Structure 1
Amino acid sequence: MSIIAWILVIIVAIEHLGIMGLEMFGSPETQAKSFDMDLDFVREKPAQTALQNQGIYNGMLGVTLLLSLFFLSGAPLLITLRLLTFFIMVVALFGGFTATRKIFVVQLLPALLAFISLWF
């Protein structure tokens, strides 16, 4: 696996840990601005619960990507990273079409670049 692929996977992992931080611990004002959501909606308890739930998923994706880099090697590493980056691309496509278009740039583009780099 190339150093470029390593760097791109680490960027995607750190990004997902950052998203987790916003979704789980960010203020409603920061969450509303970051995710293009109505502030009154974000302040509601069910919305906060949903954001925190999404945060756990994003955080675990980031942790799994990082742990994979350090505990796997060879084919198992490539298969795991390709699969996880593919999952992120699918979720980002859905989010870009249903939530906010900026997900295409913020989430999809880094995952796509990492995914492509994992084939070379």
Structure 2
Amino acid sequence: MNILIVIFSLLVALEFFYIMFLETFATLSNATSQVFNMSEADLNNKNVQLLFKNQGIYNGLIGLIILYANLYASNPKELLSIIMIYIILVGVYGSYSSGNKLIVIKQSGLAIITLFLIVFFR
């Protein structure tokens, strides 16, 4: 597999592990407040903390699937393509639902680059 595909897909995995860390382990941190543009009061809400921790597990599992695709999958490009499309669609939905057009770039930028590399550099 092309080394650029591996590098960019691993960067996507790292991004998702970082998001998992913020949501699951550092829910009340300043970094979490800044990344998700939420006030300290919002982050102290027990329901928000529960939702964040649940979402963090999903993001961590996406990172693990990307690692699996790179290390063990018999067809890594196919699996990575599916994951990157999923990440891009979630970013598009996030931009649409929040009204913040930059979310698609922030959340899906690396996935867009990775999918481009997979499609055009076989």
Report the TM-score when normalising by structure 1: 0.89
Report the TM-score when normalising by structure 2: 0.88
Q: State the SS of the aligned residue for 1:118.
A: helix
Q: Which runs of 4+ in 1 moved over 4 A?
A: none
Query: CA RMSD for the aligned pairs?
Result: 1.5
**Alpha-carbon offset, residue 106 of structure 1:** 2.3
Q: State the SS of the aligned residue for 1:37.
A: coil
TM alignment of 1:54-93, pairs within 5 A:
54-73=55-74, 76-93=75-92
Matching residue of 1:15: 15
Flag the structure with more relative contact order, 1 or 2, with Cα contacts below 8 A and sequence separation at least 6: 1
The 2-side partners of 1:46 and 1:56 are apart by 16
- Aligned residue pairs total 118
Q: C-alpha offsets along residues 65-84 of structure 1, whole Å, 9 cap, x if unaligned?
A: 011111013xx221110000
What are structure 2's unaligned runs of at least 5 residues? none
What are structure 1's unaligned runs of at least 5 residues? none
Q: What is the percent sequence identity of the aligned residues?
A: 28
The letter of the residue matching 1:90 is L
